[in-house]
Structure formats: structure tokens, C-alpha cells
Amino acid sequence: MIRDKVWIGFLLSCSIIFVLSNCSYNKGEAPKPANPNISYIKDIKPILVANCYVCHTDTSTNPDRNPSVFFNHFDQLQHEALTPSTVSPNYTIIIARLKHIESPGMPYNRAPLADSLIQKIQDWILIGAPEN
């Protein structure tokens, strides 16, 4: 009787291991940029200059400016662009804040950017945020 229970337990354990080892979690395909030829100099920097530099440059006099994130220093911008959001794993900090998913929403105390501008920035991030 005990031998039968051990045997059944063994078979059940093997079955579960077999099923679980053949299962995989499919996260889906990684997002792809709508425009893989996006250029920092031509496409992204003008958006940042028009909408972000008022607070995010080391020469800004805006009282709401962030004292540590200066987008006129490319390495700092790239770091922020590639850092994952803690609120939404689907986005980086910059995209989550531009979409007003993460606080504070950006541009600070202003309406969100147009979806087309956010998409350009997201495309640039998806290709690795190069200084091209």
C-alpha cells in the first residue's frame, strides 16, 4: 500500500515536472520602432529644445528646473532615456513621464506632448538612444 502511494507520488511529480518544463512564458515580441532611422540631431533634439530645455539645462533659470538632470549633457540624457520606469515596465522613465504615467508628468505643469512627438522619442529610445 505504501509502495503504491510512493509510486503514484513519483509518477505525479514526474508528470508535473514534464508539463512545467515544456511550458514557457511568452512575453511577446519586443517593441519595434515605427521609424528605425530616427536621428537624435535631426528629430529628437529639436523636441527637447522646444519642450524640455526650459527646465532641463544647466543654464536654466526656471524655478521648477530639475537640479540634477541636464539634457544639454548627452550622457545624462541617454542615461535617463534608457533607465526603465519603476511604475510601468513597458516604458523608460522619460516615456512614462511624457505619457503622464509616472510622476511628475512632463513637461512639468504643462499639457502632455503630442503623441506623434512622444512616438519619435520612443523610437529613438528603442534603437538605443544613439547620439546620431
Q: Where are the domains of the chain?
A: 40-126
pLDDT at 48 over 70: yes
Measure Cα distances from 61 to 54, 65, 107 in Å. 8, 7, 16
CB 53 within 8 A of CB 64: no
Return d(Cα 104, Cα 80) in angstroms, integer.
14
Give residue-wise pLDDT tens across range 58-104.
777 777 776 666 777 899 899 989 999 999 888 999 999 999 999 99
pLDDT at 19 over 50: no
